[in-house]
Amino acid sequence: MSTSHASAKERSAIRSLLRLWPYVRPVRARLFSAAFVAIVASCMSLVIPLVLKWMVDGPITDRDPGGVWLGAFVLLVLGIVEAVLFGFRRWLVARPLAGVEAGMRAALFGHLQRLPMAFHDRWPSGQLLSRGTTDLMLVRMFLAFPLTFLLVNGTTILVGFVILLWQQWTLGLVLMAPIVPLFVLCSYFESKYSLAARRAQDQIGDLTTVVEESVLGIRIVKGFGRNRSQARAFHELARRLRGTELVKARLLAGIWAAVTVLPEIAIGGALVLGTIQVADGALSAGTLVAFLSTALALRWPVESIGFLLAMSQEAATATDRFFEVMDVDQEASNPAGADGSWSTDSTKATEATGSRALIDAATSPAGPTPRPQTSASPSPAAAKAPPAGPGAGGLRFEGVGFRYPDAAADSVPVLSHIDLSINPGETMALVGGTGSGKTTLTALVPRLHEVTSGRITLDGEDITSMPRERLRGLVSVAFEEPTLFSATVGENVLMGTDGAANEEDLHRALGVAQASFVHSLPHGVDTEVGEQGLSLSGGQRQRLALARAVVGRPRFLVLDDPLSALDVHTETLVEAALRQVLKNTTALVVAHRPSTVLLADRVALLSEGRIAAVGTHQELLGTNAEYAWLMSGAEIGPSVEAAITTGSTAAAGDPSTTDRIEAPESLWEGNGR
């Protein structure tokens, strides 16, 4: 997602960089100390010309070798002290700034975990990766070098010009002549470079996205022979990035040339004028040597202006990109007074505390100090405890409506007026055509998305009044697209149990999912499955995802077509084991096949975002044309199409209808086979 660069014209680099203060504040003492040490070291270089003046006007003029050796020794000591001070400055900032970077990265990662799904649906992962890596590295580099030396060099230039004017004010005025044109050029450079820096960092994010997608989708790329097209896309983005980097290089070369040439011209003019004054006797040779030495000592502070401004602009852009994510509102807070709720403010406070802990650990000379680990999530027993107070049990949808946050206000809702009751211990199958909103409806239960209207209750308690940790301890989910992490089989299955499940629970869940294949892996349940679990087949990944959903014996279970990748024989075995699990839980199961539907006590038909019918499998086959059509896979005739469109059941229920769907006998059988 390439962000618009127009805002870069209006933003202030200083205002952007000031937003880093909450992260820098814990190490401010060491940063200020490092800046002071650097200023002292830099100003020592201005003492050297004064020593040279003394040597020229004294021992050299008087032909005193002892004085010359003394002056040389003083210069050597000044050089050594200056080098030691600069080294000490680097030591002061290295550890704390590494902690600042780590703290910001931890805050960004924690914030990303709590952002709503709508955010992740919009943002390419490559853009987020570049913000957490490249951008934060630029921020650390700015804090380590440009931030300090903008202050150090500014102070050095100021002190240096005071010394120049004190030595010979007429020559000092000559050297001050380039100040106005340099200021104008630097302002122009800053405005142009900030736009180029923003464009380059956005293009790095786009390039990262392409690389990540190509790696994760390597099977598709190879399977369809799309290597060349992916390479072309990569090279096109790389070409654009190269062009932007060349624009930055041209701007930097221009400002570097300007800040080099203009002061050199001024120094040359001062040299000519000073030589004339020495010849006329108005100025001593030692004073001229000291003056020119001081001017030459100021060359690097002046010439570094362009370089430091460029790094500052890149850091300001990186800071803006970092806070573009951090400023996004987290998942909606629970109502005030919800016990244990995670509000946006408390979450940010927790992230800030974690950031400070990392920074403090990095600042400590002894290194990171181990801290006791605490968990904010409730214990499994607390998560499974029934809610206090009266209310209808089970899972209920009451007038639920949903529209995606970025959808137009006048767009048709994805879900509208959903009223559905699933009794305690009951399994409800959710059936509907492609795009009817089944997956969206299941995502509302664990609050991956927030309902737009209406409410959802678990055992009579509104899910929006529950802390998210408690809600997600009560509800276990398995998605149609199983996601595994770079961890062992056991760690993937036990994820989310908060350590409550044991080895017995693990093997029971693997048995329910018919995942006995794990025992033939090289290290059994301790085998690393690799990124995205791509070392396993689709059916194997789906079985592990199902095992992960049932391992904690959840009170509420939401399954989104959990058996779609299984062969018919494995599916039969999984269904038999899953029936035993479903007896002890309240479940909502998205189903596309009759065999999966027959796991349920009742079936809800979702059509165009509404519940069109609820009943048993047999009832709906005989009374609802759309349901019979979805289950049979038969071609649809005109009268049935009319029945689906109007919502009438006559076409499906009247034997005289010529286009009546004849459902296969297997759809009526108790086992679906």
Tell me the chain's radius of gyration from C-alpha atoms: 35
pLDDT at 650: 40
**Domain annotation for the chain: domains and CATH numbers:** 18-326 (1.20.1560.10), 395-597 (3.40.50.300), 617-667 (no CATH)
Please report where in the chains the tokens 């509404």 appear, as a residue: 610
342-377, pLDDT tens digit by residue? 444 444 544 554 555 555 554 454 444 443 333 333
3-class SS of residue 396: strand
Backbone phi, psi, residue 19, to 5°: -70, -15
Task: Write the pLDDT tens digit of every residue in 417-465.
Answer: 999 999 998 999 999 888 888 888 988 998 888 888 999 999 989 998 8
Task: Name the burial class of residue 603, with classes exposed (0-12), middle (13-18) and buried (19+) by CB atoms within 10 angstroms of its CB.
Answer: buried
pLDDT for the residue numbered 3: 44
Helix or strand holding residue 515 (H, E): none
Residue 277: the pLDDT is 82
Res 357: pLDDT: 53
pLDDT at 565: 67
- At 423 the pLDDT is 92
**Structure confidence at residue 458 (pLDDT):** 92
Please state the pTM of the whole predicted model: 0.68
- Provide the token pair at 451: 């309902």
- What is the mean predicted confidence (pLDDT) over 105-133? 85
Cα 321 to chain centroid, rounded: 11
pLDDT at 383 over 80: no
Condensed to tens digits (0 to 9), the pLDDT of residues 560-619 reads: 887 776 777 777 877 888 888 888 889 998 888 888 888 889 999 998 889 999 999 888
Percent of the chain residues topping a pLDDT of 90: 8
> Which tops the pLDDT comparison, 60 or 228?
228
Are the C-beta atoms of 394 and 459 separated by less than 8 Å? yes
Task: Check whether 388 has a pLDDT greater than 50.
Answer: no
Q: Say which amino acid occupies 409.
A: A
Confidence of residue 182 (pLDDT cuts 50, 70, 90): confident
Q: Which of 391-405, 549-563, 636-650 has the lowest mean pLDDT?
A: 636-650
Provide the pLDDT for residue 397. 93
Comparing 278 with 670, the larger pLDDT belongs to 278
Average pLDDT over residues 244-252: 90
Return the pLDDT at 247: 92
Averaged confidence pLDDT in the chain: 78
Let me know the angle formed at the C-alpha of 144 by 38 and 27, rounded to the nearest 5 degrees. 90
CB 208 within 8 A of CB 127: yes
High-pLDDT (> 70) share of the chain, %? 81
Single-letter amino acid code for the residue at 315? A
Report the pLDDT averaged over residues 207-228: 78
Structural tokens at position 402? 């949903």
Give the number of other Cβ atoms within 10 Å of residue 144's Cβ. Answer: 21
Q: Which residue has the higher pLDDT, 60 or 553?
A: 553
pLDDT over 50 at 672, yes or no:
no
CA dist., res. 159 & res. 231, Å (int): 55
In the numeric block, which tokens belong to residue 172?
């000092």
Q: Of 372 and 161, which is predicted with more confidence?
A: 161
Angle of helix 299-326 relative to helix 227-279, nearest 10 degrees, comes to 150
Residue 60 has pLDDT above 80, yes or no: no
Q: How confident is the model at residue 5 (pLDDT cuts 50, 70, 90)?
A: very low
Which residue from 149, 24, 37 is spatially nearest to 97, judged by alpha carbons? 24
The pLDDT value given to residue 358: 53
pLDDT recorded at residue 400: 93
Whether the predicted pLDDT of 492 surpasses 90: no
> 432 φ, ψ to 5°?
180, 165
Over residues 296-316, the mean pLDDT reads 84
Q: Which of 4-13, 365-374, 392-401 has the lowest average pLDDT?
A: 365-374
Pairing status of strand 395-402 against strand 453-458: antiparallel
